[in-house]
Amino acid sequence: MTERITKKRVTMMDVAKAAGCSQATVSVVLNNITDIKISPDLRHRVLESARSLGYGRGSPILRGALEGLRGSCVGFIVDQLSTTPEAVNAIEGARQASWSDDVTILVAQTQGRAEHERKALACLLQAGAQGLIYMSIFTRRVSLDRVFQDLPMPVVLLNCYTGEQVFPSVVPDEVSGGRQATASLIAQGHRRIATIVGENFMEAAQDRLAGYRQALAEAGIAYDDALVVSGNWTPTSGYEATRKLLALNAPPTAIFCQNDKMAMGCFTAAAEVGMNIPHDLSVVGYDDDELSRHLRPQLTTLELPHRQMGAWAIAQLARKVERKSHRTHKVTCAMVERASTAPLGQPFRTVKPRAGAITDHT
């Protein structure tokens, strides 16, 4: 049986709940904002709660050791900031890993245009940046302008890589993630496992599908084209793909949706035909989008590790490694286990809306 890995990301909201205060108060304390008055007792309570929960690698809770960057600034260039939370999470991971060493992170959005990147670099150099993190919002191979080769500071690539691999780079391990999602369903006895893939020109979709196929092969389950349906990452595509899958003569008992938005559409399609999740249909998502906590039941999913990737990038900058051939570093996508999966054929209990009586079903 495959071991299921569960990981819960500690957030400021978790710290606030433990400390008995607001998230805004936690932010003030952990960012060491001194012009807002917080009582010593409350400040101590927040720091102790954060420490006990393990929040933030490099906050006032745990002093860092980034001697090569201490007191300096670091540039963070990204093609898109506003479309998804991944860039913000990566920046937050970099900030958490460096704030105790008084590192300032300067962020520029360039839309992937070389002329914007050159202007951003000029501003960063003028500001005295001691390192640069270059991020692509989609995991992919990038071709960087020659100016990046001539920079007088270390460069680390986040969520992307170059063919020459002259810079350290870090990406999510999407193959392992797809394998883990599928293996978790196999471990619960499912054999008719479908997957709804994203746009197949994207590396994330290709790799998650490769992981799905790998898990099936390891379990001795034959790959079935009918159980693989294309989507485009949207709730509507997840809804339409699920309708197709449930219309099969032998429909799946579990579906691995390759992002949480498609899983949301999957939930809607299942509800329309009277299916109960997870007892009639188990569903796993991917990304650990905020919406995964608001679906009912809450969605089991995999977390994209952009915070960890941001922290790793900062550590690489501090090392000031030489420009040579670097193997791309891959970070595991941890599984966040919630309530949208169940063992195949398991009896379940539901609460009747009005009477409140509990009835067993098989």
Q: What is the third-level CATH fold of 174-300+337-351?
A: Rossmann fold (3.40.50)
Which pLDDT value is given to residue 355? 35
236 neighbors 267 (Cβ within 8 angstroms) = no
Topology match between the domains 73-167+308-316 and 174-300+337-351: yes
The domain limits of the chain are 12-53, 73-167+308-316, 174-300+337-351
In 3-state terms, what secondary structure has residue 94? helix
275 neighbors 246 (Cβ within 8 angstroms) = yes
Tell me whether strands 348-351 and 358-361 are parallel, antiparallel or unpaired: antiparallel
Which pLDDT value is given to residue 26? 78
pLDDT in tens, 337-351: 999 999 998 754 443
Listed in order, strand segments (DSSP E) in the chain are 73-78, 104-109, 132-141, 155-161, 169-173, 193-197, 228-230, 254-257, 282-284, 301-302, 329-332, 335-336, 348-351, 358-361
DSSP for 324-344, written as a single string: S--PPEEEE--EE--SS---T
187 neighbors 167 (Cβ within 8 angstroms) = no
Task: Retrieve residue 141's tokens.
Answer: 């191979």
Q: Hunting for tokens 């001539």 — which residue is that? A: 150
Whole-angstrom Cα distance, residue 40 to residue 190?
A: 54
Whole-angstrom Cα distance, residue 58 to residue 197?
A: 36
Cα separations (Å) of 197 from 98, 176, 247, 299? 36, 15, 18, 17
DSSP state of 294: T
Does this model's pTM top 0.85? My answer is: no
Region 188-206: mean pLDDT is 97
pLDDT in tens, 208-266: 999 999 999 999 999 999 999 999 999 999 999 999 999 999 999 999 999 999 999 99
Q: Which amino acid is at 113?
A: R
CB-CB neighbours of 347 under 10 Å: 9
Among 3.40.50.11400, 3.30.830.10, 3.90.1150.10, 3.40.50.2300, name the CATH number for the domain at 73-167+308-316. 3.40.50.2300
Region 42-71: mean pLDDT is 64
State the burial class of residue 212 (Cβ atoms within 10 Å of its Cβ: 0-12, 13-18, 19+). Answer: buried
